[in-house]
Amino acid sequence: MSSSAGSGSLARYILVRIILVIPMMLILLTVVFLLLRVAPGDPVSASVGGRLPPAILAQKRAALGLDQPLYQQYLEYLGHVVRFNFGTTISDNQPVLSVIRDKGGATLTLTVGAFLIALVLGLPLGRLAGRYRDSGADAVIRIFGIVTYAAPIFWVGVLLVAFVAAHFPSWPTYGIASAQTTFVVPTHTHILIVDSIIANYWSGVFDILKHCVLPCITLGLLITGVIIRLVRVNVIQALKGDYVEAARARGVPEGRVVRKHAFRNALVPVITVIGLQVALTLSGAVLTETTFNWPGVGTALVNYLNERDYTAVQGLVTFFAVVVVIVSLLVDILNALVDPRVRY
Amino acid sequence: MTELRDVGAPVIEGPVLEARDFRVWYATDRGPVRAVDGVSFSLRRGEILGLVGESGCGKSTLGRGLIGLLPDGSSRDGELEFEGRDMLALPGREQRALRGSDLGMIFQEPLTRLNPLMRISGHFEETLRIHRPELSKEEVEQQALAILRLMGIPPTRYHAYPHEFSGGMRQRLMIALALVLRPAFVVADEPTTALDVLVEAQIIRILHDLRTEFETALLLITHNLGIIAEACDRVAVMYAGEIVEIGDAKAVFSHPKHPYTRELLRSTISLSTTGLNYIDGAPPDLVEPPSGCHFHPRCPDAMQICAARHPVDRDHGDGHRAACWATDLAEGLTLDESDRAPLEREEIAVADEA
Amino acid sequence: MAGRTRDFLHTIWNTKGLARYMFWAGAAITAVFVVCAIFAPWIAPYGFDQTSAHGVNFPKLGPYDSHHLLGTNDQFYDIASRMIWGARTGIEVVILSVILAGLIGVPLGLLSGFVGGWVDRVLVFLMDALYAFPSLLLAIVFSFLLKGKLGSGILAAALSLTAIYIPQYFRVVRNTTVSAREATYVEAARAIGARPMTIMRKYLFSNVVQSVPVLATLNAADALGTLAALGFLGLGIQPTEASEWGYDLSRALDDAQGGNWLPAFWPGLMIVLLITALTLVGEGLNETVNPALRRRRLKPVVFSARVPADVAATGPSGGTHGVLDGPDDRPGGGHEEAAT
């Protein structure tokens, strides 16, 4: 009886949460529009002005709809985003969506790999630090967490590359795959490693995994620091819980008390905050990709920034905003699935 | 209760639990808090002992100390025997193994005592598996459902989450969890304080019936004297970490031997109450308790000796014990004139201030 | 109010355990960087954009020697001097951006909390949206926009970072204001005579004085990282404007891949040290100020000797039924002075 009531309210919760996405998205998009369309004035002359005759500039402006009143541009921008149209780049005349499609797979591979490393390292270390609070292990783990968070991604990356280049010269230190793999694997999903598996090209998969190691460790360490801090504080908090004392009163061994009672309850707030770390991960991905010449959206963004391509930057930033909103939605839904109380 | 107990173990006919000069002190940055300071009593099989006293007098600490459920930085001292075993000498592992199977605890706030992420079934499976690893999944469920039925919780709710139950139901769940392994001794720490009056009566009835059902000895901590009168065989009155009076519940309530018990009874509100009575002053600081009798700064009968020397715990017949100079004097103890002189008011005020 | 500030400093001074070591270790390292920042012209051997001295040009990527303590980088700059000047740049930018963020975020939070209604709701939503946005991207967008108007100096960099931290001050101050308003009603009802504004000011001050220093320190650490990231991406401060560690690191990237990693090592080390130090100060402060996290050192329990007579007299079996002994039979209870 309770399960049907539970899933009913779960569905309602998810629906409400999805509706809440709309105002959040609207505000983010408005901020992006104000910053990147209104503030700079005329993007076309800012990007390619001086290089082209005025007549062609005017033509380009008209093509981009920049000769229309602002409110109309705004509505058009929103309309485009709803249809996943993020505009066309000025510098190389490509739809931003196709840039995202071509480069998104590499960014996804990098961030997923980094998150896996961070979870594998951060969850047990944070739990250990929280359980043995104020001990030597706690101090070491906390300092490790602070330093990995403090160390600039590109510095860790550079040192790793220098170290590997000196001691393992054959290990790849940049790019997502060797030229051969990229050339051989046919494109289906635009995620190279998945395509490689589909093509049953296992030496390619292996090659990509080798390329992934350094960038994923670099970005993963940054997230590890955050996860350690989060898990530690929440385990300490959860260990003070009444149900933890009650479990001890039932004779549950301390290890199990920490694992099944404190840690599981500590994970509920951790999931929410890890969801917020998507923003941090995206920031980190931009830097990691630049450091390792990783052919992802971050590298593309930096290239367009150097080209002063306003529409490309606007399109990519809009895309990041959409990702942030969607991920925060997914995290809330995941949270509702994990914690039965949220549904109420 | 026999089928779950070790067949080889000798049947102990003495007290289930016996504490002698039992102490529990907490560490703080100011020095130890003497939350329980030299407490002696015993409990027979199936007996219900009520424990009353103001908040902060050490009731809860005593209850937790008896089953070894204390926070870091606290220590136990004295003698504590459970079914003939010296509990203070027992290694932590074995103490833990006794908790849940032989020693149980029922808490004050049932709403927060169940793991919100764990189904009711999970709680029972965990408890039963830890203490009886030989039980099959079916047997676990069978035992859990049996006790839930006894507590009036329908088996259809076995797989529900804690938040789907009301406060009273959750307390019944907690009792079921504490009793599923038929422990010989259970501490119930203000089990009804967080519940409304109707549910309170229900829970008290359940606890009262335990002795016939399980032969469980129960320490019922409460500040509700009505509950004691209704459900308990004996009552212990605690003040500032000490048991100042203990005895048959009826005898203690009709003829209190300690002024604190008397004042506590007077301050209870009932239908015949005409005015509100209360005991002046606040419970003392347990890091540096008052000299002599801990109650002397607030005691209306305080004499000079009360501030100087700790009273002796005396038996006044039928195991009715109290520690009070004034009672001793009334019952024929000879005291010097200087010892008998009433404690001056300003001294009381100053001591209260300290 | 001065009393509250003194209490606050007193709490910091009296904290024990790990939090204390963290706080003071962080404070000491930060102090070294602050000294470098203030006295950079006297401490640094050369200017930050100096490529020659006494008519001798500096070598490119020169090794360390008596003239160049840490060698020179690929732009002929003296690395040691760049590191010291970099402390000045970093601290200037961080202080500017944190103060600016506070100056905007705190009044906005007060406004939102006081006025309430739809103003509050819109501001909260806007700030939440800004907070959810990747901070580096926000900084990139701002520096990208400001480049054309303010160039790529310290002010432009500080302004680019400001927007990231406004939502955090806003949130803290707004929530405090809202609860201060509620507390004001309660207090005003209880203690008639105190003016609501007085209570509110007291309440706000005591809460803000606790949370804002922690927030500001942690934000400073974060801002330093973001500044370096902007520099690394080529969007930060240009080398001729001031010395910036992130920029130096990006210049050293290619050489590091080629094996010469020392020019990249030093600026990174500076960044790590200062961020770690600031984080330690912030976390130490947080544990000190936040009662939920604070843990005081406990004195271990040592039981005083037991009094044997107690056992004899109180043991349930050993009770002396009906017999009233004189008070002198209690050896432990020797005459003490009455409590005063």
CATH number, domain B17-239? 3.40.50.300
Contact (CB, 8 A) for B239 and B322: no
The predicted structure's pLDDT at residue C277: 93
Q: Is A36 exposed, middle or buried (0-12, 13-18, 19+ CB in 10 A)?
A: buried
Please check whether residue A97 lies inside any domain of the structure: no
Please check whether residue A71 lies inside any domain of the structure: yes
All chains having 3 or more CB pairs closer than 8 angstroms to chain C: A, B
pLDDT at C187 over 70: no
The predicted structure's pLDDT at residue C338: 35
Tell whether A265 is within 8 A of chain B (Cβ). yes
CA proximity to B333, closest of B247, B266, B262, B257: B257
Q: pLDDT tens digit string along C77-111?
A: 777 778 888 888 889 999 999 999 989 998 888 88
CA proximity to C60, closest of C220, C263, C212, C319: C263
Q: Check whether residue A341 and residue A197 sit in a common domain.
A: no
Q: pLDDT tens digit string along A63-99?
A: 777 777 888 888 888 888 888 888 888 888 889 999 9
Q: Residue B80's beta-bridge partner residues?
A: B19
- Dist. CA B96–CA A164, nearest whole Å: 51
Q: Whose structure tokens read 């999931």?
A: A271
Contact (CB, 8 A) for B317 and C319: no
Question: Do the Cβ atoms of B31 and C299 come within 8 Å?
Answer: yes
Searching chain B, which residue's CA lies closest to the CA of residue A264? Answer: B117
The SS3 of residue A49 is strand
Lowest mean pLDDT among A231-240, B331-340, C10-19, C126-135: C10-19
> Could you tell me where the beta strands, DSSP code E, fall in chain B?
17-26, 33-43, 48-52, 74-82, 85-86, 103-106, 185-189, 217-221, 234-239, 242-248, 314-315, 321-322
Question: Do the Cβ atoms of B117 and A247 come within 8 Å?
Answer: no
pLDDT at C336 over 70: no
Min Cα separation A133/chain B (Å): 12
Question: Do the Cβ atoms of B339 and C327 come within 8 Å?
Answer: yes
Residues of A in contact with B99 (CB under 8 A): 248-251
Per-residue pLDDT, averaged over C5-12, amounts to: 64
Residue A114 belongs to a domain with what CATH number? 1.10.3720.10
Q: How far apart are the first and last CA of chain C?
A: 35
The predicted structure's pLDDT at residue C199: 66
Nearest residue, CB atoms, B116 vs list A2, A249, A341: A341
Which H/E stretch holds residue C182? helix C154-190
Searching chain C, which residue's CA lies closest to the CA of residue B313? Answer: C314
The predicted structure's pLDDT at residue A127: 93
Question: Do the Cβ atoms of A151 and C272 come within 8 Å?
Answer: yes
CA B285 to chain centre: 21
Q: Check whether residue A227 and residue A168 sit in a common domain.
A: yes
The predicted structure's pLDDT at residue B275: 60
The predicted structure's pLDDT at residue A3: 42
Residues of C in contact with B290 (CB under 8 A): 339
**In this structure, what token pair is assigned to residue B272?**
């015949």
The predicted structure's pLDDT at residue A217: 94
- Dist. CA C218–CA C278, nearest whole Å: 7
Task: Give the CA distances from residue B270 to residues A134, B225, B255, in Å, rounded to whole numbers and listed in that order.
Answer: 51, 11, 18
Read off the pLDDT band of A51 (50, 70, 90): low
Q: Check whether residue A254 and residue A174 sit in a common domain.
A: yes
Searching chain A, which residue's CA lies closest to the CA of residue B180? Answer: A250
Q: Check whether residue A283 and residue A315 sit in a common domain.
A: no
Tell whether A12 is within 8 A of chain B (Cβ). no
Contact (CB, 8 A) for B191 and B108: yes
Q: Check whether residue A46 and residue A124 sit in a common domain.
A: no
State the DSSP code for B44: -
CA proximity to B35, closest of B337, B304, B289: B289
Question: Do the Cβ atoms of C320 and B38 come within 8 Å?
Answer: no
Min Cα separation C129/chain A (Å): 6
CA proximity to A87, closest of A344, A311, A326: A311
Q: Check whether residue A257 and residue A226 sit in a common domain.
A: yes
**In this structure, what token pair is assigned to residue B146?**
């049996």
The SS3 of residue B270 is coil
More confident residue, C26 or C251: C26
Per-residue pLDDT, averaged over C234-257, amounts to: 81
The predicted structure's pLDDT at residue B345: 54
Q: Check whether residue A161 and residue A130 sit in a common domain.
A: yes
Please check whether residue A16 lies inside any domain of the structure: yes
Question: Do the Cβ atoms of C310 and B73 come within 8 Å?
Answer: no
Q: Check whether residue A146 and residue A251 sit in a common domain.
A: yes
CA proximity to B235, closest of B322, B176, B317, B148: B322
Searching chain A, which residue's CA lies closest to the CA of residue C274? Answer: A150
| DSSP secondary structure letters along A96-162 | HHHHHHHHHHHHHHHHHHHHHHHHHHHHHHHHHHHHTTTSHHHHHHHHHHHHHHHS-HHHHHHHHHH
Please check whether residue A334 lies inside any domain of the structure: yes
Min Cα separation C303/chain B (Å): 7
The SS3 of residue B295 is coil
The predicted structure's pLDDT at residue C188: 57
- Residue to mutate among C133, C146, C152, with most A CBs inside 10 A, is C133
Beta-carbon contacts of residue A121 (< 8 Å; ≥ 6 apart)? A220, A221, A224, A227, A228
The predicted structure's pLDDT at residue B10: 46
Nearest residue, CB atoms, A250 vs list B99, B109, B161: B99
The predicted structure's pLDDT at residue A286: 92
The predicted structure's pLDDT at residue B131: 93
Domain count, chain A: 2
Min Cα separation B199/chain C (Å): 33
- Dist. CA A174–CA B58, nearest whole Å: 66
Q: pLDDT tens digit string along B324-341?
A: 888 888 887 888 888 888
Per-residue pLDDT, averaged over A235-260, amounts to: 91
- Dist. CA A22–CA C210, nearest whole Å: 36
Nearest residue, CB atoms, B309 vs list C301, C320, C327: C327
- Dist. CA A98–CA A78, nearest whole Å: 19
Min Cα separation B262/chain C (Å): 21
How many C-beta neighbours within 10 Å does residue B136 have? 8
Per-residue pLDDT, averaged over A185-209, amounts to: 88
All chains having 3 or more CB pairs closer than 8 angstroms to chain B: A, C
pLDDT at A153 over 50: yes
Tell whether A165 is within 8 A of chain C (Cβ). yes
Q: Check whether residue A136 and residue A264 sit in a common domain.
A: yes
Per-domain residue ranges of chain B: 17-239, 280-353
Q: Residue B79's beta-bridge partner residues?
A: B20
Q: pLDDT tens digit string along A5-37?
A: 445 677 888 888 888 888 888 888 888 888 777
Contact (CB, 8 A) for A261 and A240: no
Q: Check whether residue A262 and residue A117 sit in a common domain.
A: yes
CA atoms within 13 A on the CB side of B174: 33
Min Cα separation C16/chain B (Å): 11
Give the ranges where B68-163 is alpha helix by DSSP (H).
92-98, 120-131, 137-150
To the nearest whole percent, how much of chain C has pLDDT over 90?
A: 12
- Dist. CA A325–CA A331, nearest whole Å: 10
The C-side interface with B (CB below 8 A) comprises: 296-303, 306-307, 309-311, 313-316, 319-322, 324-327, 329-330, 332-340
To the nearest whole percent, how much of chain A has pLDDT over 90?
A: 28
Q: Is B189 exposed, middle or buried (0-12, 13-18, 19+ CB in 10 A)?
A: buried
Largest CA distance in chain A: 83
Which H/E stretch holds residue C53? strand C52-53
Q: Whose structure tokens read 């001097």?
A: C81
Please check whether residue A257 lies inside any domain of the structure: yes
The SS3 of residue B292 is coil
Nearest residue, CB atoms, A152 vs list C125, C228, C257: C228
Lowest mean pLDDT among A55-59, A93-97, A280-284, B342-346: B342-346
To the nearest whole percent, how much of chain C has pLDDT over 70?
A: 67
Q: Residue B77's beta-bridge partner residues?
A: B23
Q: How far apart are the first and last CA of chain B?
A: 51
Which H/E stretch holds residue A180? helix A179-184
- Dist. CA A281–CA A115, nearest whole Å: 9
Nearest residue, CB atoms, A320 vs list C134, C257, C280: C134
More confident residue, C240 or C280: C280
**In this structure, what token pair is assigned to residue A215?**
């960038």
> Could you tell me where the beta strands, DSSP code E, fall in chain A?
none
Please check whether residue A96 lies inside any domain of the structure: no
pLDDT at A296 over 50: yes
The predicted structure's pLDDT at residue A212: 94
How many C-beta neighbours within 10 Å does residue C317 have? 8
- Dist. CA C239–CA C152, nearest whole Å: 10
pLDDT at A306 over 90: no
The predicted structure's pLDDT at residue A342: 64
Task: Give the CA distances from residue B350 to residues B25, B306, B347, in Å, rounded to whole numbers and listed in that order.
Answer: 26, 15, 5
Please check whether residue A54 lies inside any domain of the structure: yes
pLDDT at A123 over 90: yes
More confident residue, B193 or A163: A163
Please check whether residue A137 lies inside any domain of the structure: yes
The SS3 of residue A171 is coil
Beta-carbon contacts of residue A298 (< 8 Å; ≥ 6 apart)? A107, A282, A285, A286, A287, A288, A289, A290
* pLDDT (tens place) for every residue of chain B, 354 residues total: 334 444 444 445 678 999 999 999 888 777 788 889 889 999 998 899 999 988 888 888 999 999 988 887 788 988 999 988 899 998 888 889 999 899 999 998 888 899 988 999 999 999 999 999 999 999 999 999 999 998 888 999 999 999 889 888 888 899 899 988 889 999 999 888 777 888 888 888 888 887 777 888 999 998 888 888 888 999 999 998 899 999 999 899 988 999 999 888 887 755 555 566 677 777 788 888 888 888 888 888 888 888 888 898 888 888 899 998 888 888 878 888 888 888 775 544 444 444
Residues of C in contact with A301 (CB under 8 A): 140
Domain carrying residue A77: 1-91+308-344
Q: pLDDT tens digit string along A315-338?
A: 898 888 888 888 888 888 887 887
Beta-carbon contacts of residue A138 (< 8 Å; ≥ 6 apart)? A128, A129, A130, A132, A232, C18
pLDDT at A1 over 50: no
Contact (CB, 8 A) for B116 and B122: no
Q: Check whether residue A252 and residue A290 sit in a common domain.
A: yes
Question: Do the Cβ atoms of B116 and A265 come within 8 Å?
Answer: yes
The predicted structure's pLDDT at residue C194: 58
Lowest mean pLDDT among A289-298, B146-155, C56-65, C221-230: C56-65
Which H/E stretch holds residue C36? helix C18-38
More confident residue, A127 or A149: A127
Rounded to two decimals, the ipTM of the complex is: 0.84
Task: Give the CA distances from residue A125 to residues A231, C196, C329, in Å, rounded to whole numbers and listed in that order.
Answer: 8, 48, 60
The per-residue pLDDT of chain C, averaged, comes to 75
Read off the pLDDT band of C191 (50, 70, 90): low
Q: Whose structure tokens read 């422990």?
A: B183
Taking the CA atoms of chain C, what radius of gyration do you get in angstroms? Answer: 30
The SS3 of residue B192 is coil
CA proximity to B38, closest of B50, B24, B51, B26: B24
The SS3 of residue C267 is helix
Q: Check whether residue A18 and residue A82 sit in a common domain.
A: yes
Tell whether A253 is within 8 A of chain B (Cβ). yes
Question: Do the Cβ atoms of C332 and B310 come within 8 Å?
Answer: yes
